[in-house]
């Protein structure tokens, strides 16, 4: 008899539990809501149930769940603050509350393993300065992060098992290193909470995040389960569609400020303009899915890596595609990383210098989105060239009126009509003329008497030393199309 009563009680409790409004895991204690906007909150309830959302900052919104039990509301959020807030969700069968919610700036950290790489590093892949980061973490408790589990699914998922975590010496090691260093600068500059949504997976291609519709319309990638597996039988992390369905789709209802993206290594070798066009397609897809307009998209150039041949061009061609992508994607900006490898990291796909990567992303956001117009965030890039007296005069743009170093410049190569490139000497040149200072880098080689083309760090692994007034590296480039 007692056993039957116990079973009945358990069944009754289960029924009551199921009747309560249910929230996705990402809407939970410790979360960061995008400030001063109509933030979306959503979940599930009984079909046609009335759901009331009440906030501790005196906002109340009511909606009705659909036939499938889904509901979504938009709540006006206050200005950024460290003051902990509470949000209560009630469908009439029991209230559910989340606590210690703060408002601030929320950014997505997307991409492959160099974005996924945590502050504590991967096995055999350390992050430079780890101990100092741990000791400093107590000063950045306003930074919070949620990691979406890397999951493959054939169908788009609405939820993922995750939880928000506050930055502390005990937790910071698990944050995305690139994301955390971005957030740390943002936190220091703005003195408001910064939230990171980490939705990434090591080794993924740009196609891994495209929807079935986009893959079918714009690529030759298979979109059925058997075809996807057969196309990438050994490397599941490179499979199309699946990672977007399982790892990115659960965050698409979130209200965010922008997207940080670090990916490209797994697309090295793609032909022509395929990568830049597909990256543009992905950004358009994400912006449409988030339905927040042309939110910022700031992404990272792949670092020098041998790709089986340090003097090969496959990596250089992908970087060229990334540079093209920032020109064809509205409201985007690319961070150069040519200087962020050590000489011994030719075979290290996860370079240790992640702090500068995150900082450069933060400088970009601060300058472009938060009014810090005195922050210099652009790397210089090739503008034009002239040939005179057996030398190439290279002019750069976005150099903030300074090409450095003055001499002992490294990284240039020149070629003549035979298309054979030779290491070149380079020096700084400037002279007054036409009401301005003509500033250039003069490139020449004794082996090339009549140069027709110049390249800078246009190899898989070639590190130059040209910087601008912001001490940011010159983007690798070539003037030929050979």
Q: What is the pLDDT of residue 14?
A: 42
Residue bearing the bigger pLDDT, 431 or 208: 208
Cα Dmax for the chain? 104
User: Residue 166 and residue 143: Cα distance in Å, rounded?
Assistant: 6
pLDDT of residue 233: 87
Tens of pLDDT, residues 50-75: 999 999 999 999 999 999 999 999 99
172, 136 contact by CB (below 8 A): no
Residue 119 in this model has a pLDDT that exceeds 90: yes
Mean pLDDT of 87-112: 97
The predicted structure's pLDDT at residue 13: 41
Q: Name which of 173-177, 320-324, 342-346, 431-435 the model is least confident about.
A: 431-435
- The residue with tokens 């209230």 is 95
Helices (H), 105-195: 113-116, 130-136, 177-190
Q: What is the per-residue pLDDT for 10?
A: 47
Helices vs. strands in the chain: H and E counts, helices first: 10, 21
> Is residue 105 over pLDDT 70?
yes
DSSP string, 278-329: HHHHHHHHHHHHHTSSS--EEEEPPPP--TT-TT-SHHHHHHHHHHHHHHHS
Cis ω for the linkage preceding 280 (within 30 of 0) = no
| pLDDT single digits (tens) 463-475 | 999 999 999 999 9
249-278 tens-digit pLDDT:
999 999 999 999 999 999 999 999 999 999
Evaluate if residue 12 carries a pLDDT over 70. Answer: no
pLDDT at residue number 9: 45
Q: Express each pLDDT in 127-136 by its tens digit.
A: 999 999 999 9
The contacts found for 343-347 with CB under 8 angstroms, 24 or more apart, are 343/463, 345/304, 345/305, 346/304, 346/305, 346/306, 346/310, 346/461, 347/305, 347/306
CA distance readout (Å), 396 to 80, 320, 443, 466, 468: 40, 16, 13, 11, 10
Between CA 409 and CA 416, with CA 415 as vertex, the angle to 5 degrees is 140
Instruction: Summarize pLDDT for 18-53 with one digit per residue, the tens.
Output: 558 999 999 999 999 999 999 999 999 999 999 999
Mean pLDDT, rounded, of the chain: 94
């Amino acid at each position: 008899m007692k056993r039957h009563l116990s079973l009945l009680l358990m069944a009754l409790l289960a029924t009551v539990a199921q009747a309560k409004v249910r929230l996705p895991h990402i809407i939970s204690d410790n979360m960061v809501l995008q400030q001063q906007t109509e933030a979306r909150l959503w979940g599930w309830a009984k079909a046609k149930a009335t759901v009331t959302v009440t906030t501790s900052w005196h906002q109340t919104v009511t909606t009705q769940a659909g036939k499938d039990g889904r509901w979504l509301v938009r709540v006006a959020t206050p200005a950024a603050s460290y003051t902990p807030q509470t949000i209560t969700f009630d469908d009439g069968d029991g209230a559910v509350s989340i606590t210690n919610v703060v408002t601030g700036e929320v950014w997505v950290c997307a991409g492959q393993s160099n974005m996924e790489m945590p502050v504590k590093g991967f096995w055999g892949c350390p992050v430079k300065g780890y101990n100092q980061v741990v000791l400093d973490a107590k000063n950045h408790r306003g930074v919070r992060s949620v990691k979406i589990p890397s999951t493959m699914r054939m169908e788009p998922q609405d939820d993922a098992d995750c939880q928000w975590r506050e930055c502390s010496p005990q937790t910071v090691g698990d944050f995305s290193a690139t994301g955390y260093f971005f957030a740390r600068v943002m936190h220091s500059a703005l003195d408001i909470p910064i939230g990171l949504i980490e939705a990434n997976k090591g080794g993924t291609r740009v196609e891994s995040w495209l929807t079935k519709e986009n893959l079918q319309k714009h690529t030759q990638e298979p979109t059925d389960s058997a075809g996807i597996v057969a196309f990438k039988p050994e490397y599941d992390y490179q499979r199309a569609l699946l990672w977007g369905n399982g790892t990115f789709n659960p965050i698409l209802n979130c209200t965010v400020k922008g997207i940080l993206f670090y990916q490209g290594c797994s697309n090295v070798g793609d032909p022509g303009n395929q990568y830049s066009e597909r990256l543009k397609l992905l950004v358009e897809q994400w912006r449409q899915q988030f339905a927040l307009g042309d939110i910022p998209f700031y992404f990272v150039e792949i670092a020098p890596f041998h790709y089986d041949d340090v003097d090969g061009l496959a990596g250089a061609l992908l970087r060229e595609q990334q540079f093209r992508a920032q020109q064809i994607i509205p409201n985007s900006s690319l961070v150069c990383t040519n200087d962020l490898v050590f000489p011994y990291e030719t075979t290290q796909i996860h370079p240790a210098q992640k702090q500068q990567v995150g900082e450069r992303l933060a400088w970009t956001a601060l300058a472009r989105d938060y009014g810090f117009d005195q922050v210099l965030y652009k790397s210089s890039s090739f503008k034009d060239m002239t040939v005179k007296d057996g030398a190439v005069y290279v002019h750069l743009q976005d150099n903030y009126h300074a090409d450095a170093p003055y001499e002992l410049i490294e990284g240039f190569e020149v070629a003549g009509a035979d298309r054979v490139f030779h290491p070149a000497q380079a020096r700084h040149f400037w002279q007054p003329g036409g009401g301005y200072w003509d500033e250039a880098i003069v490139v020449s080689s004794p082996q090339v008497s009549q140069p027709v083309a110049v390249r800078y760090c246009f190899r898989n692994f070639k590190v130059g030393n040209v910087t601008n007034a912001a001490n940011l590296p010159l983007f690798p480039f070539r003037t030929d199309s050979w």
